[in-house]
Amino acid sequence: MAVMASRSNGTSRLTIDQLAQRTGMTVRNIRAHQSRGLLPPPVVEARTGYYDEEHLARIKLIQEMQAEGFNLKAIERLIEGSSGAVEEALGFKRAVLTPFGDEEPEYITQEELDQRLHGPFDDKIARKAIKLGLVKPLGEDRWEIPSPTLFSAGEELIRQGVPIDHVLAVAERVVRHSSAVADAFVRVFVDDVLGPLPHNGVHDPAEWARKRDALERLRPLASDALLAAFKQQMTSAAERRFSKVLDS
């Protein structure tokens, strides 16, 4: 059973063995990082060195940079001259790669899929659903549903008597137009808000923070704008369609 790290004033205090266990590194490598100046020295009490959250964060940063292809010499140079810019740059990258939305995928069996969509369906229907990203085959008669919300909308349409090929036609148009809107938002953000990115990772950390803040603001803005425009268009389309029906 692992020994729990002691705490002082709510801050983790780790021995070098505990730090190695938390980071997946060897004690030898931690000492090597420290000797190169990549890690701040520990706080020494009663001849025992203690590490904290700052050391954990620095090791995570080093590991991320190594995963990006930087060697230790380059990492040392960047960290020495960056004044926090490297941390901010990687934080921006994590923000970029974070999915827009918090919807978790759903996993179901072939039998459950057939029941929910009143299947089974032919290969042509299955291929189209896969191409649209509505479902993903996992093998062994298991499926992933990337967006349960979108899938449930199609499921309800089928339950209302809409043929599945018509449901997929609507889904195709939704995906296509949503893709165009997403591309437009990202293009505006990159060209007019973000500006050029440095290639070597060294930049003013405040500027990296500004870029990340702008990205976070884009997330709800894009969703809200698309939903507001869609509601307006749905109202107009319903009025046009039903006015013809009622007048006939």
| CA torsion, ordered 164, 165, 167, 168, to nearest 10 deg | 120
Which residues in the chain land under pLDDT 50? 1-10, 200-202
Give the span between the Cα atoms of 158 and 140, in whole angstroms.
26
Nearest in space to 154 (alpha carbons), one of 136, 170, 176: 170
What domains does the chain contain, in order, with CATH numbers? Answer: 6-82 (1.10.1660.10), 106-247 (no CATH)
- Give the pLDDT score at 76: 77
Nearest in space to 20 (alpha carbons), one of 65, 56, 44, 47: 56
| 24-33 contact pairs (CB < 8 A, 24+) | 25/59, 30/59, 33/59, 33/62, 33/72
- Give the pLDDT score at 143: 94
Decide: 27 and 46 in contact? Cβ < 8 Å: no
Give the span between the Cα atoms of 113 and 154, in whole angstroms.
12
Contacts (Cβ under 8 Å, ≥6 apart) of 191: none
Contacts (Cβ under 8 Å, ≥6 apart) of 64: 90
